[in-house]
Amino acid sequence: MQELDKIVDRSKEVACLIFKHSTRCSISFMAKHRLEGQWNFDTTQVEPYYLDLIAYRNISNEIADRFQVYHESPQILLIKNGECFHDASHLDISVEEIKGVIRES
């Protein structure tokens, strides 16, 4: 939970992306693989954070509560200034979508 507080604080400096991954789900594996293969951001644009939601379900639930998003898996949340300004799940997760959302924010 302390790491989540740090992400919220850090999001006041740079956009932070939380990737919620289910290690038991093939769609989640595919989304993770696509993100890793296409990731070309530097840390001045967006800082990525990974959450194994099977191992840390309580943190996943806290993320859903804190940012008022419906829990899904896989799921990304973009956090800026302590607020979630974009979330996506399943096949809607893509680097191109993240780039567009960051450009518009």
Domains and CATH numbers, the chain: 2-104 (3.40.30.10)
Contact assessment for residue 89 and residue 72, using Cβ atoms and an 8 Å cutoff: yes
| 39: its two tokens | 């990731």
* Local structure of residue 92 (DSSP, 8 states): G
Give 10-residue mean pLDDT values along the chain (105 residues): 94 97 94 94 92 94 94 95 96 93 87
Distance CA 33, CA 60 (A): 20
Residue reference for tokens 């993770």? 32
Distance CA 24, CA 6 (A): 27
Distance CA 30, CA 4 (A): 25
Report pLDDT for 52: 96
